[in-house]
Amino acid sequence: MNKKVMALIGAVVIIVAALGIWFMGSKERKEFANSANTTENKQEMFKDNNEDSEENIAIIYFSATGTTEKVAGYIKDATGGDLIEIEPQDEYTDADLNYNNNNSRSTKEQNDESARPEIKNNIKTDNYDIIFLGYPIWWGDAPRIILTFLDNHNLDGKTVIPFCTSGGSGISTSVSYFKSHYKKVNFEEGKRLSSSSSEVKKWVNDLNL
Ligand SMILES: Cc1cc2nc3c(=O)[nH]c(=O)nc-3n(C[C@H](O)[C@H](O)[C@H](O)COP(=O)(O)O)c2cc1C
């Protein structure tokens, strides 16, 4: 073999080796890129899930004596949503809540369909897709301050899930009223809840949000 042939063979060997190394390198680079993509995707999915369960849900409630507030807290625990209280401009006193008195504030408000007791705090609803709306039942219905809230917030296209507490009366009268007066809002049937955290947890689970 002369020098020229040996140099040629040497060059071919070097080129083949270089191509091999390059090929292995590119394969590894692809695998790495794929795994990075997968991790990125997973992180993205995780972020989205978090947003769905924590940032798009609000639990907005009115509670005069604390029962509905307790239940609202259980819903927050179950959904991770934001808890927002509807605060009356004028707090309800015991005398205001006296349902044995025809002249008490609550009785007069419930007898007047146009009554809209003022809300003190500025409640922002724009960022939420799902709103749990909670209240006690007063005279078989939602307290008028809930209508103040619904009149003053555009919830069109949002899902609103009513819940209530009461001495025994159900939620359906109030929900029928909402459905017939705020037609573009997607009201669900809602539920009267007791103060049992396990009942609330099960109900929220069954909603499959
Ligand atoms: C003015 C007033 C009217 C009420 N009307 C009813 C009623 O019609 N039916 C009922 O089952 N409970 C009625 N209740 C009881 C409340 O719904 C119940 O105690 C509720 O859990 C109170 O919730 P809160 O503590 O969040 O205000 C009434 C209570 C008040 C103060």
pLDDT, one tens digit for every residue, the chain (209 residues) = 555 655 556 555 555 554 444 444 444 444 434 444 443 443 333 333 334 444 599 999 999 999 999 999 999 999 999 999 999 999 999 999 999 999 999 999 999 999 999 999 999 999 999 999 999 999 999 999 999 999 999 999 999 999 999 999 999 999 999 999 999 999 999 999 999 999 999 999 999 99
Give the integer Cα–Cα distance in Å for 123 and 152.
Answer: 10
Does ligand 1 lie within 6 Å of residue 140's CB atom? Answer: yes
In ligand 1, the atom with minimum distance to the C-alpha of 165 is 21
Residues in the chain: 209
Instruction: Please tell me the pTM assigned to this model.
Output: 0.78
Same domain, yes or no: 21 and 96: no
Residue 174 in contact with ligand 1 by CB distance below 6 A = no
Pair 156, 128: CB distance under 8 Å: no
Q: How far is the CA of 198 from the centre of ligand 1 (A)?
A: 22
What crossing angle do the helices spanning 67-79 and 197-206 adopt, rounded to 10°? Answer: 50
Residue 120, domain extent? 56-206
Distance 184 CA to ligand 1 centre (A): 28
Measure 140 CA to ligand 1 centroid, in angstroms.
8
Q: Work out how many domains the chain is built from and give that number.
A: 2
Q: Does 168 sit in the ligand 1 pocket, CB within 6 Å?
A: yes
194 and 115 in a common domain = yes
